[in-house]
Amino acid sequence: MAVATSQPGSATPSPMPSRSPLERLRRWLGGSFSPYLFIAPFVIFFCAFSLFPFLYSFFLSFTHWHGDADPRFIGLDNYTFLLTDSSFWQSLGNSAVLWFLIVPVRVLVAVVIAALLSLPGLRLRGFFRTSMLLSYVVPLVAIAQVWLVLFDQDFGAVNTLLHIVHLPSIGWLTTSMWAKPTLALLVLWGGSAFAMLTMLAAIQAIPVEYYEAASIDGAGAVRQFFSLTLPLLRRTVGFLVVFSTLGVVQMFAEPKVLTNGGPYNSTTTAGYLLNSYIANSDFGTGAANSFLLTILLVLLSLFMLRFLRAGEER
C-alpha cells in the first residue's frame, strides 16, 4: 500500500481566519465605528424630524385624509383642485403684492442705513446699532396689538391725526385697498432689523484698503458707494432678497393677528391659506399646497440668485 508523502519545499496552506459580521462591517466602514457614532445623533434626529415628515407629507399630498380614518389614495386630485382654485391663486397674488411692498423697501432701507452707520466719525454709533434691535426683540403679537390701536378706523391715533388736518378717516384694516400696505408696514417694522444688521456686517467686512485706493484715485464718498460698496454687496443683497421672499410667501402670523386674512381675503397669503387647510384638518390638500409652494419658492430663489449674480459673470 502506497503512502502519500509531501514533496520537499511544499507548504500546507493555512486556512483563512473567519471574521465575524461585525468585524466585516467595521472593515467596510473604513476600520472604525467612531466617526459614525459621532454623526449618529444628527442622522437620527434628521430622519425622525425632517426626512420622515417630508416623505410622509409627500405621500399625504396624493391622499384624501382628515385625520379620522386611513388616508385614501386619490392621485393628483389635490394638485388639480389647487391649480384650479381661485383662492389658491388669490393667495399667490396677495403674496406677490406684499412682496413688492416689503422686499425692495426692506433691502433699500437696509443698505442706506447700514451705509450711514458705517460712516467714519459717526457719533452715537453704538446707540443707533442697539436701537435697530428693538423692533426685532419685541414679540410680534405685541407689535400687532400696537398696530391695531394705531390704525383703528374709529379711535386710532393715525385717523385722529388725519382729523386734525381735516382729512377723512381711512379704513386701514377694513378696506382691501389699505389692508395690504398696513400689513406691509407691520412686517417692515418688525423684520427689517435683521436685514440692517446683516447689511452692516457685510459693509464692515469690505477691506478698508479698497476705499483708500478709491480715495487716492479721486473718488468721493458718493462715487465709492455706487462704484465700490454696492457691487461688493451683491451677494448679501441676493441673500436678503431670497430670505425675505421665503418669509413673505410663508407669512401667517402677521395677517392672522392683524386682519385674520381679511377683508375679503385681501391679506390671505399663501402661508395663511396653507395653515387654513391644516386648521380644517384637510391634511391631503394642505400637503399638496405645501409642495406646490416649495416648488414655487425653489424656482423663485434660483431665478433671483441668477438675476442678482448675473453681473459677476461678466
pLDDT tens, 194-206?
Answer: 888 889 889 888 8
Residue 4 has pLDDT above 70, yes or no: no
CB under 8 A, 24+ apart: contacts of 61-69: 61/284, 61/287, 61/288, 61/290, 61/291, 62/284, 62/288, 63/284, 64/284, 65/283, 65/284, 66/281, 66/282, 66/283, 67/281, 67/283, 68/281
- The pLDDT-based confidence of 14 (bands split at 50, 70, 90) is low
pLDDT the model gives residue 292: 93
Residue 54: count of CB within 10 angstroms of its CB: 13
Q: What domains can be seen in the chain, in order of their start residue?
A: 92-313 (1.10.3720.10)
pLDDT score for 312: 58
Q: For residues 158 and 177, give the distance between their C-alpha atoms in angstroms, rounded to a whole number.
A: 17
C-alpha cell read off for 63: 391622499
Least confident piece of the model among 13-17, 43-47, 156-160, 280-284: 13-17
Which residue matches cell numbers 432678497? Answer: 241
pTM of the model: 0.83
Model pLDDT, residue 128: 73
Whether 26 has a pLDDT exceeding 80, the answer reads: no
DSSP 235: H
Please report which confidence band the pLDDT of residue 1 belongs to, taking 50, 70 and 90 as the band edges: very low
The one-character DSSP state at 65 is -
